[in-house]
Amino acid sequence: MKALSQKRRHPLAVIALLLMGLLVTGGLYAVATTVNEAKASTTSFSANDTAEGEKLFEANCATCHGMGASGSQDGPSLVGVGAASVDFQVGTGRMPMQMNGPQAYKKPAQFNEAQTHQLSAYVASLGAGPAIPEEHLLDEQGDAAKGGELFRVNCAMCHNAAAAGGALTRGKFAPALADVSGKHIYEAMVTGPQNMPVFSDTNVTPEGKRDIVTFLKQIEANGSPGGADLGALGPVSEGLFVWIAGLGVIIAFTIWLTSRTS
């Protein structure tokens, strides 16, 4: 008993107990967070949605992504990507891919809205991930001024300040954001498709994402009241166009003058 009592009074005993307490607390927090995320991602889906989605997946997606979406040499694992990722990729026609390449192109969707919902339900059931955004985040009633500021800080370096898109390295590109639904814009921010980084709620809050969607929809609705936007590629391209056009007019006028003199 005396030896046990001495061990209890050892200076490292307090540190050991503190470390154990931190490990237990952290583990419980991680488990609780995972459970909450999983519930958030699957609450809008029924068991029938999941079952039908599994059938669709096995018939159309398992060739590349493997049975159970575990991945293969032709496609990554989809466990944990969430419903939002599937809704974006399938809803915009990027998946199934038309051909292998550095980037999946947007094209007419192969699956209808109900089938996309079912595929999202199945993948969401495999692991926690970003959920499809709620309707109040897509009402386009956010603060467009704040959204514009957030867009210029976080997105304009790739998508252009006017959201006209831009080229990246190795044959990749940031697409133009005109005629893209607010839901797909939001889903792209939370899932990071293609070469896009993920903007978690820590980086950009849900309200901030709502503001960005509002800003993009506002500039799309405004159009180009000043005339032709020349692709909205910025002052360098516009200046080059004016320089070439102006130089062409000067040359043509010079030729006309000299022909009249002769």
What residues form the annotated binding site for heme c?
A: 61, 64-65, 155, 158-159
What is residue 245's three-state secondary structure?
helix
Chain mean position to CA 74: 22
Q: Are 125 and 45 in contact (CB under 8 A)?
A: yes
Q: Where are the alpha helices (DSSP H) in 104-230?
A: 113-126, 144-154, 156-159, 182-191, 206-222
C-alpha closest to that of 68 among 53, 89, 88 = 53
Which of 232, 230, 249 lies closest to 241, judged by CA? 230
124, two tokens: 């969401």
Question: Residue ranges for the binding site?
Answer: 61, 64-65, 155, 158-159
- Element (H or E) spanning 63, and its range? helix 62-65
Give the three-state DSSP class for 31: helix
Name 72's bridge partners: 75
- 9: CB partners within 8 A, 6+ apart: none
Cα 27 → chain centroid: 30
